[in-house]
Amino acid sequence: MLIWFRWLFLSRSYLLRISQACDWHILPIKTKPALELVFIYLFLFIFFWHSFDFRFLEGRAFAQDNENQGEEDGATSKEKLVPHPFADKGLIRIKSDGTYIYATEMSDQDRASSLRFGMYEPQQLSNPDTEVEFTYLYPDSSMPILLYDYEWQLWRGPFGKLGWKVGTGIYTANGNGSFKSAENASITPRENFTFIALPNSIGLIYRLQFWDSQPLVPFVEGGLDAITFAEIRDDNKGPKFGLATAAHGSGGVAFNIGLLDKSSVITLDREFGINSVWITLEYRLLLAINKKFDFSENFLNGGVMVEF
């Protein structure tokens, strides 16, 4: 700005001197007030133009600085992708609290295993010699039954899964037996009897599962059973053993509880190879093939199944 003032002052002085020294009447003395007025207007024009340009440039620079600062702030508020030595091990993210997040792949899955629990009572079972009903000999015969299955999934496609399975279980009941004679039928014997049955089975199961993260999976099952049983008494007499054959059919639904906590399923897969965890609910129909020992009964059971 000082340069402009100096230039105007010198220009005015030179022009006035020239007009006084020359006799060309270019700038006569009568025009001096007009010349002063021209210089005043020129000074004001240059001053305002220079001030406007300076403010404009200053505002533009300030806006540019704010924009750059905003970009820097935005960059610091966002996550940055940087190379990490654990990237080869599957590291994909580090959370603000320092937790390392890894990309994982589920292991192959072609088997399953389940443990189920229900209430069972063989109401059709009776002694083939005396025809005394089982529920009479064992009044508290409605007892828990525990079932265990192991499954090989043979086929998996767009229409579900098909597998075959083997299973076993255990059922027990306690009673006092009965006298053979009719006159002592109303008397309760002192001996205690324990009845133990092992329901062994083999069958096919079809699951209507179309994708891995399906929350509900209906299923149906059918197969054959070989029920081994024993009756043990506490009067030092030997136990008695028997075998019954039957067939079973069942249907139910499995609930995928692994979806509630996927990180736990990832841990189970990494540590034990378990891909998914299910809660199962099943209704089973058991039909005797040999009526000599009739274990026919319908009952509800439920439990936990894991796939691996």
pLDDT digit string, tens, across residues 99-117: 767 666 777 889 999 999 9
Q: Whose structure tokens read 């499954």?
A: 151
pLDDT: which is higher, 24 or 209: 209
Query: Nearest to residue 122, comparing CAs of 302, 265, 276, 242?
Result: 242
Cα 135–chain centre separation: 46
Distance CA 102, CA 87 (A): 9
Is the pLDDT score of 13 beyond 70? no
Distance CA 294, CA 134 (A): 10
249-262: burial string, b at 16+ Cβ within 10 Å, e else: ebebebbbebeeee
Task: State the DSSP code for 48.
Answer: H
Which amino acid is residue 69, in one-letter code?
Q
For residue 285, how many other CB atoms are within 10 A of its CB?
A: 14
For residue 229, how many other CB atoms are within 10 A of its CB?
A: 19
> Which range is most confident: 14-18, 40-44, 83-87, 279-283?
279-283
Assess contact for 278 and 255: CB atoms under 8 A. yes
Instruction: Classify 164 as helix, strand or coil.
Output: strand
pLDDT: which is higher, 307 or 86: 307
Is the pLDDT score of 98 beyond 70? yes
Cα 282–chain centre separation: 24
Q: What is the rounded average pLDDT of the residues 15-32?
A: 49
pLDDT in tens, 173-182: 998 766 565 5
Distance CA 121, CA 230 (A): 16
Is the pLDDT score of 39 beyond 50? yes
What is the overall mean pLDDT for the chain?
79
Q: Which long-range contacts (CB under 8 A, 24 or more apart) does 274-277 make?
A: 274/306, 274/307, 274/308, 275/106, 275/107, 275/109, 275/212, 275/307, 275/308, 276/109, 276/212, 276/306, 276/307, 277/304, 277/305, 277/306
Residues paired with 201 in a beta bridge? 167, 225
Q: What is the rounded average pLDDT of the residues 57-70?
A: 48
Instruction: Classify 183 as helix, strand or coil.
Output: helix
pLDDT in tens, 156-178: 889 999 999 999 999 999 987 66
* Range from 11-20, 203-212, 286-295 carrying the lowest mean pLDDT: 11-20
> Which range is most confident: 9-13, 93-97, 103-107, 252-256?
252-256
Share of the chain above pLDDT 70, in %: 66
Q: What is the rounded average pLDDT of the residues 211-229?
A: 96
pLDDT: which is higher, 261 or 59: 261
Assess contact for 180 and 130: CB atoms under 8 A. yes
> Quick one: pLDDT at residue 270?
84
